[in-house]
Amino acid sequence: MSSPSQIELSLVIPTFNEEGNVQRLYSEILVVLKQLQISTYEVIFIDDGSSDHSLQRIEQLRAQDTNVHFLQFSRNFGHQHALKAGLDHARGAAVISLDADLQHPPALIADMVQLWRQGAEVVYTRRKDKQNVGLFKKLSAKAFYWLANRLSEVPIEEGTADFRLLDRKVVDAIKTFKESHLFLRGLIPTLGFKQVALDYEPAARFSGQSKYSLGKMFHFAINGITSSSAKPLYFSIYLGLFFAFLAFVYGCYAIYIAVFTNAAITGWTSLIASVLFIGGIQMILIGIVGIYLGKLFVQSKQRPTYIIKSETLTSTASHEA
Ligand code: UDP
Ligand code: MG
């Protein structure tokens, strides 16, 4: 709408070592665009430092269709930053983000666009029947949402992923956020606008392996929680109070034993155990504070959150000054 190029739909696809998926994804997307009779579109692949032939595959597509674009990062910056870069550069009146591995079925794009045409400003998707997702992934996702929803002010609906349509107005709103630790899943529900959910069944990854190792997933969860909430800081106070109370009760008990009984205080073991225990708790609490402090530190440096090595689009955001 404000976009001078009048592109109706942008597709933003974070791509990290997805050489086996790029071609297939593109052809599936094209089928849907034809069906929707959308002729002004752009498909933006964000090559997040792939070490395989993903970029060559994307360039091959671009040779056939100039609506295909790419942003090549100088190294791997991570999925969330790739998404942000895509939003910063997309020019469409609506922008859909989806994974490159075909787990986010392109066929759903048709329903998303329909809802958008009926007035929805955010169409987010909820993963339903998870038979194609491994047990471990299922359990870890459950644990994440359980924890995130207890610890943060804004509930994040279970099963929501970074597969969504955003109206231009919402994209422009997100571009004004200068957070270096962006967590879109926690941010978008707080923005307001007319948000509509769409349920889907995830497909199996078409080719290649999941890029999320256990370590990365854990990092993602901690980052997600501490990006959208300061509640863990309060949690640390309560935990500290609770253990101080326990120590007080135990102290009373020790005095009682010493004064009113003649049972010798054999307490060396329990003393060491409790010192270690309290020490551990303190370490956790300092860690929680440290995470927030670290975020402030990174934010205060105002570094760019991603670096582009080569691209076929120019940014419309003030990201790179
Ligand atoms: N991805 C990325 N950078 C990364 C990790 C992943 O751009 O550091 C992309 C990846 O290519 C895919 C999407 O993010 O398009 C989701 O990754 P993946 O399928 O590995 O995650 P999962 O589906 O297992 O949660
Ligand atoms: Mg995947």
Sign of CA dihedral 102, 31, 199, 175: positive
14 lines ligand 1 (CB under 6 A): yes
- CA neighbor of 156 nearest in space, from 182, 127, 181, 188: 188
The reported pLDDT for the residue numbered 236 is 75
Sign of CA dihedral 70, 74, 75, 81: negative
Give the chain's radius of gyration (CA, Å): 24
Distance CA 300, CA 143 (A): 32
Q: For ligand 1, what atom is nearest to the CA of residue 13?
A: 15
Please report, in tens digits, the pLDDT of each residue of the chain (321 residues total): 444 558 999 999 999 999 999 999 999 999 999 999 888 999 999 999 999 999 999 999 999 998 999 999 999 998 999 999 999 999 999 999 999 988 888 989 999 999 999 999 999 988 876 566 677 777 877 787 787 777 766 666 766 788 999 999 999 999 998 887 778 888 888 888 999 988 887 777 777 777 767 777 777 777 777 776 777 777 777 777 787 778 778 777 777 777 777 765 666 667 776 777 787 788 778 888 888 888 887 777 778 889 999 988 865 554 443
CA 113 to chain centre: 23
48 lines ligand 1 (CB under 6 A): yes
Name every residue whose Cβ is closer than 8 Å to that of residue 246 and which is 6 or more positions away in sequence: none
User: Quick one: three-class SS letters along 3-27?
Assistant: CCCCCCEEEEEEECCCCCCHHHHHH
The reported pLDDT for the residue numbered 177 is 87
The reported pLDDT for the residue numbered 283 is 76
The reported pLDDT for the residue numbered 222 is 79
Distance CA 106, CA 188 (A): 21
225 φ/ψ angles, rounded to the nearest 5 degrees? -70, -45
Instruction: For residue 46, give the 3-state DSSP assignment.
Output: strand
Count Cβ atoms below 10 Å from residue 202 Cβ, excluding itself: 22
Count Cβ atoms below 10 Å from residue 226 Cβ, excluding itself: 21
What letter represents residue 61's amino acid? L
Distance CA 195, CA 125 (A): 10
Give me ligand 1 centre to Cα 15, in Å: 7
84 lines ligand 1 (CB under 6 A): no
Name every residue whose Cβ is closer than 8 Å to that of residue 183 and which is 6 or more positions away in sequence: 80, 223, 224, 227, 228
Q: For ligand 1, what atom is nearest to the CA of residue 17?
A: 11
Inter-CA distances, 62 with 58, 66, 75, 124, Å: 6, 5, 22, 28
The reported pLDDT for the residue numbered 169 is 94
18 lines ligand 1 (CB under 6 A): yes
Q: DSSP letters of 157-195?
A: -TTEEEEEEEEHHHHHHHHT---SS--HHHHGGGG-S-E
Count Cβ atoms below 10 Å from residue 248 Cβ, excluding itself: 10
Q: Beta partners for 308?
A: 73
Count Cβ atoms below 10 Å from residue 250 Cβ, excluding itself: 13
19 lines ligand 1 (CB under 6 A): no
- Is pTM beyond 0.95 here? no
Distance CA 110, CA 107 (A): 6
Give me ligand 2 centre to Cα 212, in Å: 8
Q: DSSP letters of 97-163?
A: E--TTS-S-TTHHHHHHHHHHTT-SEEEEEE---TTS-HHHHHHHHHHHHHHHHH-SS---TTEEEE
What letter represents residue 161's amino acid? A
The reported pLDDT for the residue numbered 233 is 76
